[in-house]
């Protein structure tokens, strides 16, 4: 099978064995056999974040990562309470948009997309408003590559009696963390990113006691209700509505490959890939938008070069034609593109990519660093 390298922030590059795991005999998803597979997948997903199955549950949904955000925000807010969104990027801004769509009382604690949130401002917001029951943020803002201090934010939330919900879509199964140690009550992800599976399966992992307490909260969505999906699976071993059958078989295979590689080895591989990206950019004289100490090590935002010949679309198309996908950035005030260390890739793939990128820049007529040195 032809191999394509995806350097976009998801879906991620997958193995052929994960792709082929979808080719299975037809099965009705209401069969007990398939319910057992979903339960196995859910248990594996809990293990990745070191969540005790006696304290936490994994609830599967059919949808993208945005569905998880919708589920958590509309399902976990008690009546007459508020959400505090710690917002320093495009994906936390999406959470604000979801709050607005549902008419949820919320505070948009906005800060620069180029920096981590101000913890003193988070503390002040919590102290000033006792109606805040849910604090929400994004672990890794993939629009920029900024990694947020979730452990510290979670500690502040808990000190003020609020639950802490984190979008971990682009760190789950890549940057190791423990739910308890990171002070996270709910995390979320989708199968096409960290576990290197296919699109269509999303999941929320959260404290079972808080899921059960949400039974008495306002029902704001028919499809995206966390308690109803959890309770239905607990009772029947099935999703309420049709699950993404083939995607779940792929997720089962991807989890087997995750545990075979091992948490530490997989994290080290992503770190190798990120370092190769940094080296390649430096060699071409390309500048990074985010300072190194707050980067995630998974996404690098690259500033558009100040060269009249630069054309992102042409560079993208050249790279795509040669088997590599790159992606535009999400920094409104600066032109950027992103290179990502997600997926079933390694250092050698990045070295090949930079050979292609160098060719693309040369074809545009851009002056490369070695040419400058010869002048």
Q: For the chain, which residues make up each domain, given as ranges?
A: 17-259, 261-374
Give the up-direction half-sphere exposure of residue 330: CA atoms within 13 A in the CB hemisphere: 18
Q: Which residues pair with 6 in a beta bridge?
A: 325
Segments in 262-311 forming alpha helices (H): 263-283
CATH number of this structure's domain 261-374? 3.90.1150.10
Interval 42-97: pLDDT, tens: 999 999 999 999 999 999 999 999 999 999 999 999 999 999 999 999 999 999 99
- Element (H or E) spanning 233, and its range? helix 226-236
**261-374 matches 17-259 in CATH topology:** no
The CATH number of 17-259 is which of 3.30.1370.60, 3.20.20.70, 3.40.640.10, 3.40.1190.20?
A: 3.40.640.10
pLDDT on residue 372: 46
**Could you say which residues of the chain have pLDDT below 50?**
372-373, 375
> Nearest to residue 191, comparing CAs of 274, 253, 137?
253
pLDDT on residue 368: 82
Q: Which of 268-276's residues contact partners 24+ apart within 8 Å by CB, and which partners?
A: 269/346, 270/174, 270/175, 270/297, 270/298, 270/341, 270/342, 271/297, 271/341, 272/346, 272/347, 273/341, 273/345, 273/346, 273/347, 273/349, 273/350, 274/298, 274/300, 274/341, 275/347, 276/347, 276/350, 276/351
> Nearest to residue 176, comparing CAs of 314, 308, 269, 312?
269
């Amino acid at each position: 099978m032809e191999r394509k390298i995806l350097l976009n922030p998801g879906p991620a590059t997958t193995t052929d064995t994960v792709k082929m795991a979808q080719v299975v005999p037809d099965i009705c998803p209401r069969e007990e056999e398939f319910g057992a597979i979903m339960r196995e997948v859910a248990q594996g997903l809990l293990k990745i974040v070191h969540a005790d199955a006696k304290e936490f549950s994994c609830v599967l949904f059919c949808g993208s990562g945005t569905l998880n955000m919708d589920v958590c925000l509309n399902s976990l807010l008690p009546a007459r309470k508020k959400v505090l969104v710690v917002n320093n990027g495009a994906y936390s801004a999406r959470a604000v948009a979801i709050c607005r769509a549902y008419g949820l009382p919320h505070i948009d604690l906005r800060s620069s997309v180029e920096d981590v949130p101000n913890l003193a401002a988070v503390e002040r917001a919590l102290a000033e408003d006792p109606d805040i029951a849910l604090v929400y943020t994004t672990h890794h803002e993939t629009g920029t590559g900024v990694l947020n201090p979730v452990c510290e934010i979670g500690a502040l939330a808990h000190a003020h009696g609020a639950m802490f919900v984190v979008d971990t879509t682009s760190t789950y199964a890549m940057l190791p963390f423990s739910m308890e140690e990171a002070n996270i009550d709910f995390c979320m992800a989708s199968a096409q990113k960290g576990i290197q599976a296919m699109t269509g399966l999303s999941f929320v992992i959260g404290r079972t006691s808080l899921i059960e307490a949400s039974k008495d909260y306002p029902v704001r969505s028919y499809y995206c209700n966390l308690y109803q999906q959890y309770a239905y699976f607990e009772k029947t071993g099935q999703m309420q509505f049709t699950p993404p059958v083939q995607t779940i078989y792929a997720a089962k295979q991807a989890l087997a490959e995750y545990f075979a590689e091992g948490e530490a080895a997989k994290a080290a591989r992503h770190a190798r890939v990120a370092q190769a990206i940094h080296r390649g950019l430096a060699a071409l004289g390309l500048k990074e938008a985010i300072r190194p100490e707050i980067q995630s090590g998974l996404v690098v935002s690259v500033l558009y070069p100040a060269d009249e010949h630069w054309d992102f679309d042409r560079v993208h198309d050249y790279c795509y034609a040669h088997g590599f996908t790159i992606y535009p950035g999400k920094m409104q005030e600066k032109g950027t593109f992103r290179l990502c260390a997600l997926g079933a890739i390694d250092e050698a793939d990045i070295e090949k990519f930079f050979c292609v990128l160098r060719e693309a820049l040369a074809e545009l007529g851009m002056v490369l660093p070695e040419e400058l040195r010869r002048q």
